[in-house]
Amino acid sequence: MRFRDIKKRQKNFQKLQEKTTVRYASYPDRIKALITDMFMIYAPILYLIAYVVMGGKDAFQSSQLAPLVGVALYGLIYALLLAKFGQTPGKKAYDIKVVDDTTYENIGFFRAFVRFIAFLFSATILFGLLTPFYRKDKKALHDIICSTVEIYV
């Protein structure tokens, strides 16, 4: 492919991006949405596992499998909501939607689940959660890995 053709494609892509005005979600709103999701989805899951399934907090605390099951259930629900609606309850409260970074359409279930796993990884190393401070599009590491972006609706 010739250099001239590559430049022409880049200009066409820039024109396409200029036509669609997108407001990227701010980092404080993303954090507030995450906290809301933790209280609305993850806390009830942990409560059900601890008190309904295991019979009390002592059994839950002594188990190594119970927290893993809780995180896995939360990840499945999170991915299902992102695939179906593009939003979780917390993201809906702050008018945020997770979409593909080029087409701005909803992502699939598998990609949403991989994004959740990548979020766990980026939260573990902390570097992934600091990347939005240095990027214009405010993408975190898990967004970069999965080619997604969080925008205002």
CB within 8 Å of 23: residues ≥ 6 apart: 151, 152
Amino acid identity of residue 30, one-letter, is R
Model's pTM, two decimal places?
0.83
CA atoms within 13 A on the CB side of 125: 11
Span 59-83, pLDDT tens digits: 999 999 999 999 999 999 999 999 9
Give the bridge partners for 148, in sequence order.
100
pLDDT band at 19 (very low <50, low <70, confident <90, very high): low
Three-state DSSP state, 87: coil
Span 108-129, pLDDT tens digits: 999 999 999 999 999 999 888 8
